[in-house]
Chains A and B, each alone.
Chain A
Amino acid sequence: MTVPATLDIRPSSLSPDAAALLGRFVLIALIAGALTAVDPGFASVSNLLNMLRQASLLFLVASGLTLVIIGGGLDLSVGANLTLSACLAAAAIKTTGNPWYGVAVAIGAGTLIGYANGLMINRLQLPPFLATFGMLWVAQGIAYWFMAGQTIYGMPMSFRYFGTGFFLGVPLPIWITLVVCLACSILLHRTTFGREAYFMGANQTAALLSGVPVERRRLLLYVLSGLTAGIASLVYLARLNAAEPGIGEPLLLPAIAAVLVGGTSLFGGNGNIVGTVLGAILLTIIVNGLNLLNVAATWHPFVNGAVVLVAIIADLVISRRRSGSE
C-alpha cells in the first residue's frame, strides 16, 4: 500500500495545521506587543475587549465564507447580504416593535440569498465568483431601493443587547463568535458533511465519482454562508443601532482577507475555522494599530487590498515550499 502524498511523516509532534495556527498566534502577539510599546493604552482591558468585539463581527461574516471556500467555492455576496438582511430586519423591528420579527427576517433573508447563490451555481452552471458577484450588486441594489435614501435608527434596548450587552463580563458578540466557531468546527471535523466539503474542495470530480452528492452539499454550503451573514447582520445592526445601505460593502475585502490570512487556501480543500478567527483578530489589530498611529481611515481599502495580495502570495510560497520538500 502506498502512502498518500499529503500524509505528514515528519517526526514533529505538531501537525502542519497546528503549526500554522501557532505561527499566527505568535504574529498577533508580536504586533500587539509592538503596538503596546507605541501606546500603552492599546493593552487596556477595555481596548482589547472592544477589539475582540470588532473582530467577532468580522469573523461572523467570514465564517460562512470559510466553509464555502473550503468546499471549493466562493461567496462575494456576504457583505451585500449583510447589508440587505440588516436593512430588512431594521424595518421589521421598527414597524412591529418586536425584535424577534427582526431576527426571523434577517435569518430568513440571509439564508434565502445563500440559497439563491447555490441555485444559480448548480442550475445555471455559473462560476461561483460570477454568480455571487452578480448577487452582490443585486442585493445591494435592492437594499438601496428599499431604504430610499433613509437611515433606520433607534433599535429597542432588548435587541441592542445582541451587540452591546455583556454576559459574565464578556461582550455578547464574542459569545456568539464562540458558538458559531464551535458549531462550524464540529460541522467541518466531526461530521460526514464536513469531510465531504474538504473532499469537494480538493477534487470535485473525484468527490462526484465517489458518490458525494456534490450539488446538494454545495447548496448547503452556500445556505450556511447566507445564514452566517444573516446572523452577522443582526449583531451588526444591534451594535450600530442603525441600518443604511452602505454598511456591508466595506466588509467584503476584510472578510476575504481574514479567511486567507487564517490559512484557508482559495483553491479549496484545506483550512479551518479557527484560522479565520485568528485572521479576523489579526486584521482588526492592524486597523486598530493604524488608528493608534493616526493613519486616516481613507487608507483602509488600500490596507485591506494589500493584506489580501500579501496573503495569497504567502499562501503560494508556503504551498510551493511544502510540495517541494516532499
Chain B
Amino acid sequence: MLYPLMHLTATHINYYYLCRRKLWLFHHGIHMEHNSDLVHAGKLVEEYSYARRSECNRQLALRARLDAHTQLLGVIDYFDPEARLIHETKKSNRKEEAHIAQMRFYQLLLKENGIEDCRGIIEYPLLRSSTEVPPLDATTEAQLRQELHTMAQMLRQAHCPPLLQTRWCRQCAYYDYCYIDEAEN
C-alpha cells in the first residue's frame, strides 16, 4: 500500500514518551495545547529565559528523510555552531526522558544534514540546573530510528490508542478531552 508522506516532529517524539494516545490525537490535528495554562507557562519560560541570547537569531529549522514515507522536521531553538551545542529550555525536569529523546531527535536531524557529533544541553532555568546529552552513538541512533519507525507505524493505525490513566493525566492539556464522560443518573 502507498502511504502519503508522514511528517514527524520533535513534539511527536516528546509525546511518544509521554502518552501514545496524546501523540495519536496530536498527529491527527486534535490539538488541545491552546487551552492549557501549563503549556502557556512552559512557552513563557522558553521565551523569556536567556533573554540576551535571542539578540542573535540562532534558530535552526531542519528536515531529513527517515524513509520513503516519513519526513522528519524540527526547529532547534538555539544552536551554537562553534561549540556544536544544541540548547533546549524546559520548565520542569519531571519528564526528562522525553526531553532527552527530543534532543536525540535534533542530533539525528543535524547528523542527516552533515553536522555530526553535536552535544545537547537541556536547561531548566526555574530549577537552576541543566542536563547534558552526549553526542549520538551507534546504539542510541539505532534505538531512535527504531522508535521513529514504530511511531510512524502506530500513527498509521485508524484507531486512537486507549486511555493510559496515569497520575500525570490531570496536568495534561488533553485531560478534559480524554476524561469527559457522563455519569449515569
The finding on whether chains A and B are genuine partners in a shared complex, rather than unrelated, reads no
